Homo-oligomer: A and B are copies of this chain.
Amino acid sequence: MAQHNVSVEDTLKVLVDNKKYSTVKDVLVTMNPSDIAAIFDQLAEDQIPIMFRLLPKALAADTFVEMDSDNQELLIKGFSDTELKQVLDELYIDDAADIVEEMPANVVSRILMHVTPDKRREINEILRFPENSAGSIMTTEYISLSPDMTVRDAFEKIRTTGVDKETIYTCYVLSRFNRILGLVSAKDLMLAKDQDSQVESLMTTNVITVNTMMDQEEVAKQLSKYNFLALPVVDSDNRMVGIVTFDDAMDVMVEEATEDMTIMSAQTPYDKSYLRTSPFELFKHRIPWLMLLMISATFTGLIITSFESALAAQVILTAFIPMLMDTGGNSGSQSSVTIIRAISLGEIEFKDIGKVLLKEFATALMCGITLGAVCFGKVMLVDGLLFHNPQVTVLVAMVVCFTMATTVMVAKLIGCALPLLAKKLGFDPAVMASPFITTIVDAISLMVYLKIATAVLF
């Protein structure tokens, strides 16, 4: 694609400044809602409402959904009652519920006042589910059919009710009590040879459902596993209450991967994008973990001081502490991150702990022996011969090499076991990632190192 030196954004700003509104409108209507929203989010606060009012109704609503919540709030506050009603009428229920969740109380009551009673009931329905549950991300707008409808009837129903539905491509066949009897895809209906055949004869009865309380991550995983466009959500009585669509599942997958990475790097997860998060917010998400881990390093300090005389006599022992600690940390984080990801992808669970420990033990043995051997060579050649350090003896090199091998093995076993244990105990495995494991491995490897060193060298 060609490189543009002038951005559309800049052009639009100039056009608005010069009050060339009809040109602005002509440009905007050729664009996608996500792109328009991205441009709006870059504009000055007083330009957003002007631009927004230029958009045709449906495009305005789609753009509104994609905007930052700060700017949504700004727009709602500036809307007349009629404008607010127009935008709200165009929104899908799940998007409306998402927006309501982000707004301050006075804006929420204004929104709820201007939606139809039906919509208000449905928004409240979604809002009562816990955050990150299937119920909280579902939409209540889907196409339902009855088993005795013909293909022709089904098309008719889709034609009359479809325009407001988030997807018309998967239709659910429900009993009188809203229990799911089966599903038919729009493809099944379109390719049906006989317009008079009953929906019942075309439908798939093997329907995968999720419960309203299921975690959104699990919902996204199911949807991706089966390559479905949408998954039906049922309540505890097994009655259908809504659907989760693939686009929401995609957002969930991205969110959850980000959350895992954030937790693995010892931070409390947060929703906002990086550039919209203030330094003070970043500070609040980072400092508790840094503090906790810093204070837990008291143990390593105590271990070192208890071997005071040995370390004073042979400073060369100190010189290898960073190398041993870092290699231990890296070995542990390789295993822990691998296991945390495999747990989160559903590849392994606690019952696999035997297999995992065995595999990691074998890997650790190979890594430990290799690193130990290379370490021996490195210490003798680089630290001893190259830098002429008289304190580097064969005995010292052997102690370092043995500690290296032990540290790597301990690190890998702890690294794979802790996340599985955390999962079993109902914690997020990601919390057990490198920072915690490093702290534990540090203490163990220092103990091993200094115990052996004092035993062998003194």
Contact = CB atoms under 8 A, between A and B. Distances in A.
A321 B318 CA distance: 9
B323 A300 contact: yes
B282 A359 contact: yes
A319 B304 contact: yes
Given A206-B30, A302-B387, A330-B435, A348 B274 contact: yes
A448 B316 CA distance: 20
Contacts of A408: 290
A225 B34 contact: yes
A104 B226 CA distance: 28
A378 B280 CA distance: 24
Interface string A376-393: 001000110001010100
A360 to B, nearest CB: 8
A49 interface: no
Interface string A222-258: 0111110100000000000000001101110110011
Copies in the complex: 2
Contact of A283 (B246, B300, B319, B366): B366
A440 to B, nearest CB: 11
Interface residue tally on A, bucketed by range = 35 or more
A208 B322 contact: no
A361 B61 CA distance: 38
Given A168-B187, A190-B158, A315 B311 contact: yes
Contacts of A370: 283, 287, 291
A323 B338 contact: no
A127 interface: no
Interface in A263-289: 264-267, 273-275, 278-280, 282-283, 286-287, 289
Interface of A: 1, 30-32, 34, 155, 158-159, 162-163, 168-169, 186-187, 190-191, 205-206, 208, 211, 223-227, 229, 246-247, 249-251, 253-254, 257-258, 260-262, 264-267, 273-275, 278-280, 282-283, 286-287, 289-291, 293-295, 297-298, 300-302, 304-305, 308, 311-313, 315-316, 318-323, 325-327, 329-331, 333-334, 336-342, 345, 347-348, 352, 355-356, 359-360, 362-363, 366-367, 370-371, 374-375, 378, 382-383, 387, 389, 391, 404, 408, 434-435, 438-439, 442, 446
